[in-house]
Amino acid sequence: MKLRFLLSLFLGFLLIFLLNTQLVCSQDLAEGEQLFSANCVACHANGLNSVNPEKTLQIKDLEKYSKDSVDAIVTQVTNGYGAMPPFGDRLSEDEVKNVASYVLNQAVNSSW
């Protein structure tokens, strides 16, 4: 009886955690989209690249240049590289992660 109670309590907390995590992810993607529109769309409209057309934000190019993870995109956005300026001084760590999550989500789902 006590084991059932503890198990149901654990499962309840797990369910709350998973639901909360999903809601936060949705909010992060929405914020990432807003930040992308405000900071990135000038060069990356529709997931393209107006400066270097070979390096788009399409998943095939992200994979080709090893930028197909949130961590890799965070590094790129934070530090810049080549013609891309760094945004680490303009955006907070959370904002950069939100943009990176948005970019990867758009690429993986072919939503550009």
Cite the annotated binding site for heme c by residue number: 40, 43-44, 84
d(CA 112, CA 108): 10
**Which domains can be identified in the chain, with CATH numbers?**
2-108 (1.10.760.10)
Model confidence at 76, pLDDT cuts 50, 70, 90, reads very high
Q: Residue 26: its pLDDT value, please?
A: 53
What confidence tens digit (pLDDT) does each residue in 1-59 have? 787 766 676 666 565 655 544 444 556 999 999 999 999 999 999 999 999 999 999 99
DSSP-derived letter for residue 86 is: P
Cite the annotated binding site by residue number: 40, 43-44, 84
Instruction: Give Cα separations from 62 to 11, 70, 73, 77, 97 (angstroms).
Output: 38, 11, 9, 13, 16
Average pLDDT on 57-65 reads 98
Pick from 24-28, 83-87, 92-96: least confident:
24-28
Q: Residue 3: its pLDDT value, please?
A: 75
Q: pTM for the full model?
A: 0.77
- Beta carbons of 103 and 48 less than 8 angstroms apart: no
Phi, psi of 84 (to 5 degrees): -80, 125
